Structure 1
Amino acid sequence: MFGRLTLPQLLFASILGIAGGLYIYQPIFEQYYRDQMELKEKLKLAQESEEKKS
């Protein structure tokens, strides 16, 4: 059906591939999260200063 690999072997290889990809790209995901938090803080500060002006 799948050649020489059994279904459990394919599932195991798929899980390892996904986990490996997440491990490799984890720093990129963390940097994106930090950047988003910084943008939210800047936006919040800008809104607060806007409210104080008016």
Structure 2
Amino acid sequence: MFGRLTGPQLLFASILGIAGGMYIYQPIFEQYSRDQKELKQKMKLAQESEEKKS
């Protein structure tokens, strides 16, 4: 099956496939990053309000 493709062609196809997958899923990665930042900010605010109460 692999007899028709050379090593560089397989390498190029693999790199292209990985890059394409990253391009397609980039919005999901960005949304996850934003959600994590918001969560950290909320945790920080909650911690500060706890400290003010005590």
TM-score by structure 1 length? 0.96
Shift of 1:8: 0.2
State the partner residue of 1:7.
7
State the partner residue of 1:39.
39
Q: Residue 3 of structure 1: SS of its match in structure 2?
A: helix
What is the number of equivalent residue pairs in this alignment?
54
Shift of 1:4: 0.5
Q: Partners of 2:46 and 2:53 in 1: how far apart?
A: 11
Q: Partners of 1:3 and 1:53 in 2: how far apart?
A: 71
Q: Deviations over 1:2-21 (max 9, x none)?
A: 32000000000000000000
Could you tell me the percent identity over the aligned residues?
Answer: 89
Q: Partners of 2:16 and 2:29 in 1: how far apart?
A: 19
State the partner residue of 2:17.
17
Q: Deviations over 1:4-46 (max 9, x none)?
A: 0000000000000000000000000000000000000000000
TM-score by structure 2 length? 0.96
State the partner residue of 1:53.
53
